[in-house]
């Protein structure tokens, strides 16, 4: 029996692949490499010592996906494949609804055809919207402020409805907070296409000299130092959370939702200071206006994952900054040679 990782060559998917293999699972990766690199598979072989069984293709291609299920004895799916740039989703909503929603619907149909009833979904804290107050708990009303966020809200609902209709289904929605860091080997990490939207890859590229300075979007928020506060979680802790969630999913039916965060918020300035101190580098910055759509503070109540999954994040902010820098300095151009 194998675990299928859609989008398994991506940032979260590749780190989850390492932890699944380490936990003794056989995995199959499906990826169209639209936001990842085939080189990741070579890196995974070096880290795990195992040749990765993968298929290069899109989950939108039903014939292709059916074949993957025909050729492999799939026990469960961890569904990472999606576009995830908030700003791009506002400019190109149809690209996001088509890829993220239709891709999921094709996947669910193929799973049904092959009687595969277990799915863990890569959701996001973005579903908590702008109005909920941190610490955020899983029972809060979900909403969105952009097409990317709406696809996460809608897919969570689709999965919950499917699990209600088919009593053999087991659905786990995992709401990630802010995944950062990299595997300790420095062989896999976050490799955004073009100029990074997210804070830590941007900090890393300033530190290595690829970018001139960091723009800090607003220092007039109602936070301890005025800059935005987020729940940054090490991607390896997040990956281990997927293994814990999969084990729980395989033992149950119905639908479940869990926050995967540390339960602690750090500000932009705290990250910059920690990154500089831990790595002995400089990160010049300028204060700019707030970024549209940003909220002041967002962090998890992660107690449910602790109680039900027996999982908590263990790595420190210093670990996250050190591992981010190791990945960036060993791979100045990401996976491009």
| Residue ranges that bind ligand WQD, judged by CB under 6 A | 84, 86, 124, 126, 176, 178, 197-199, 202, 214-217, 228, 230, 268, 291, 294
Other beta carbons within 10 Å of 106:
18
287, 295 contact by CB (below 8 A)? no
- Least distance between ligand WQD and beta carbon 259 (Å): 13
With respect to ligand WQD, which residue has the nearer C-beta, 52 or 201?
A: 201
Q: Which residue, 198 or 329, is less far from ligand WQD as judged by CB? A: 198
Residue 218: CB minimum distance to ligand WQD, A? 6
CB neighbours of residue 177 within 10 Å: 28
Smallest separation, CB 110 to ligand WQD (Å):
25
Beta-carbon count within 10 A of 203 CB? 27
Burial 16-28 (b: 16+ CB within 10 A, else e): bbbbbbeeebebb
Could you give the C-alpha distances from 318 to 91, 181, 259, 262, 276, in angstroms and in order? 36, 10, 22, 14, 10
User: Which one from 148, 202, 221, 266 is the annotated catalytic residue?
Assistant: 148
- Least CB distance to ligand WQD at residue 82 (A): 9
Return the structure tokens found at 118.
């277990």
* Residue whose Cβ sits closest to ligand WQD: 228
Classify burial at 131, counting beta carbons within 10 Å of its beta carbon; exposed 0-12, middle 13-18, buried 19 or more. Answer: exposed
Is 148 among the catalytic positions? yes
Residue 196 or 255: the one with the smaller Cβ distance to ligand WQD is 196
Helix H or strand E encompassing 256 = strand 254-260
To ligand WQD, the closest distance from the beta carbon of 316 in angstroms equals 18
Nearer to ligand WQD, 28 or 85 (CB): 85
The Cα–Cα gap between 19 and 237 comes to 10
State how far Cα 154 lies from the chain centre.
17
Question: How far, in Å, CA of 277 to CA of 34, rounded?
Answer: 35
Cβ proximity to ligand WQD: between 261 and 315 the closer is 261
Shortest distance, position 24 Cβ to ligand WQD, whole Å? 29
Q: Which position has the token pair 């809060």? A: 140
- For residues 230 and 240, which CB has a smaller minimum distance to ligand WQD in the complex? 230
Q: Which residues are catalytic?
A: 148
């Amino acid at each position: 029996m194998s675990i299928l990782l859609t989008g398994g060559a991506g940032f979260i998917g590749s780190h989850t692949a390492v932890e699944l293999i380490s936990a003794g699972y056989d995995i199959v990766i499906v990826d169209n490499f639209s936001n990842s690199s085939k080189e990741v598979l070579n890196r995974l072989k070096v880290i795990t010592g195992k040749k990765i069984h993968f298929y290069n293709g899109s989950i939108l291609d039903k014939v292709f996906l059916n074949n993957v299920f025909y050729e492999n004895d799939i026990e469960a799916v961890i569904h990472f494949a999606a576009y995830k740039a908030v700003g791009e989703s506002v400019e190109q909503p149809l690209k996001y609804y088509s890829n993220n929603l239709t891709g999921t619907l094709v996947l669910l149909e193929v799973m049904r055809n092959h009687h595969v009833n277990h799915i863990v979904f890569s959701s996001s804290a973005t579903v908590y919207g702008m109005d909920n107050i941190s610490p955020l708990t899983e029972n809060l009303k979900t909403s969105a402020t952009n097409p990317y966020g709406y696809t996460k809200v809608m897919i969570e609902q689709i999965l919950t409805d499917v699990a209600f209709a088919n009593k053999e289904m087991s659905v786990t929605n995992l709401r990630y907070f802010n995944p950062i860091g990299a595997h300790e080997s420095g062989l896999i990490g976050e490799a955004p296409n073009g100029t990074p939207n997210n804070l830590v890859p941007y900090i890393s590229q300033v530190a290595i000299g690829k970018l001139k300075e960091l723009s800090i979007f607003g220092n007039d928020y109602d936070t301890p130092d005025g800059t935005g506060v987020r729940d940054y979680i090490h991607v390896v802790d997040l990956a281990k959370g997927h293994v814990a969630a999969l084990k729980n999913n395989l033992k149950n039916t119905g639908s479940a939702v869990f926050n995967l965060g540390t339960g602690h918020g750090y500000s932009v300035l705290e990250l910059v200071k920690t990154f500089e101190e831990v790595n002995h580098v400089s990160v010049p910055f300028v204060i700019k206006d707030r970024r549209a759509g940003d909220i002041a503070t967002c962090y998890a109540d992660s107690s449910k994952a602790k109680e039900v999954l027996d999982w908590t994040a263990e790595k420190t902010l210093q670990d996250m900054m050190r591992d981010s820098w190791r990945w960036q300095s060993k791979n100045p151009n990401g996976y491009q040679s």
